[in-house]
Amino acid sequence: MKLLIIGGTIFLGRHLVEIARAHGHDVTLFNRGKHNPDLFPDVERIQGDRREDLSMLEGRHWDAVIDTCGYFPRDVRSMARALAGATDHYTFVSSISVYSDMSAPGIDENGAVGELAEEDIDAITEITGENYGPLKALCEAAAEEEMPGRTVSVRAGLIVGPWDPTDRFTYWPHRARLGGEILAPGAPDAPVQFIDVRDLAAWIILMAENRHTGVYNATGPGHTLTMGHLLDECVAAADNGAHLSWVDEPFLMEHEVGPWMEMPLWIPATPEHAGFNHVDCARAIENGLTYRPVRETVRDTMAWDATLPAGRELRAGMKPEREEELLKLWHQREDVPSAADAG
């Protein structure tokens, strides 16, 4: 299969290239050449900016295209339009953030997506937490409108694993590797969802090979995974005496601990978030999505993290001094006698 990957040198893109080549596919990359320009030196590259000029794609043909980096509907529309006569299949990497209501567990691909005022769409130049999901939904629609019946939209959850530039998952293997007392947020039995980048990439290639179309949720794993199990795996992989201290949500909220970015994977147990870690991925699983053991994801992420510069500042996660301060306050609170004890 001749495959064009838009992007291809950052995280999901680089794993897509590696898996596609392992399957014997002929890969071409289209990107600006700004990230990891020396990666995959024997792979054909077309350097360009999707917002400026797509003429270099004219006169070519690929069996399939995978768009890893579309965030604005106007950009996806122009790319899909330029490639409509040049490919048989278009994969757009979207996000489960498209859903407007995460209050009910089990949301599937029929769930309502976020919307933006029509007059605001073309004026948007910056991605925010509020417009990211609705823009992704509009990107999906743009791709399908330009290439009807030939597109697949992959609504990915949190993508994790080696080469993750966000540290939203890496924080936990990294923190366990440092050892000592670890602040663990909320309840050990709270569910979490994410997908190993290698599992996602392998499935996306499979979908392109088989020309599947439509919309699919793609997070995981295929069973209920708890925060407690995940952090236990991190501690076990570190094997250095690290230990967990579980701190309850009222305390975290009292001290204004930031969900998700400051405290990765933690989302407060509020009614509006009741379905956040309960996204239904049955359709993707029925169409070949598989998951490696969480232990493997943890160990491989930890091994990769160990190759990075010591003392680097993570892009997500609690600062060491903040963690130390909160743990001290937590233990002081635990030591205060209850009213019953005092009586």
For the chain, the domains span: 2-156, 171-192+223-273+293-336
* 316 CB-near residues (< 8 Å, 6+ apart): 166, 167, 168, 171, 261, 262, 264
Query: Homologous superfamily of 2-156 in CATH?
Result: NAD(P)-binding Rossmann-like Domain (3.40.50.720)
Beta strands 151-156; 90-95: pairing state: parallel
Positive/negative CA dihedral, 194, 200, 203, 208: positive
Per-residue pLDDT of the chain (343 residues; tens, 9 = 90+): 999 999 999 999 999 999 999 999 999 999 999 999 999 999 999 999 999 999 999 999 999 999 999 999 999 999 999 999 999 999 999 999 999 999 999 999 999 999 998 877 888 999 999 999 999 999 999 999 999 999 999 999 999 999 999 999 999 999 999 999 999 999 999 999 999 999 999 999 999 999 999 999 999 998 999 999 999 999 999 999 999 999 999 999 999 999 999 999 999 999 999 999 999 999 999 999 999 999 999 999 999 999 999 889 999 999 999 999 999 999 998 664 443 443 3
Note whether 2-156 and 171-192+223-273+293-336 share their fold.
no
Side-chain half-sphere CA neighbours of 14 within 13 A: 15
Which CATH number is 171-192+223-273+293-336's, of 3.90.25.10, 3.40.50.880, 3.40.50.150, 2.40.50.140? Answer: 3.90.25.10
Q: Are the C-beta atoms of 116 and 134 separated by less than 8 Å?
A: yes
| Rounded Cα distance, 208 and 65, in Å | 8
Q: Could you tell me which residues are beta bridge partners of residue 215?
A: 153
Please give the C-alpha separations between residue 17 and each of 45, 207, 213, 231, 271, in angstroms, as whole numbers. 12, 15, 21, 31, 40
Q: Are the C-beta atoms of 182 and 246 separated by less than 8 Å?
A: no
Side-chain half-sphere CA neighbours of 31 within 13 A: 24
pTM confidence score: 0.95
| Rounded Cα distance, 200 and 290, in Å | 8
The alpha-helical segments, DSSP class H, found in 23-89 are 73-83
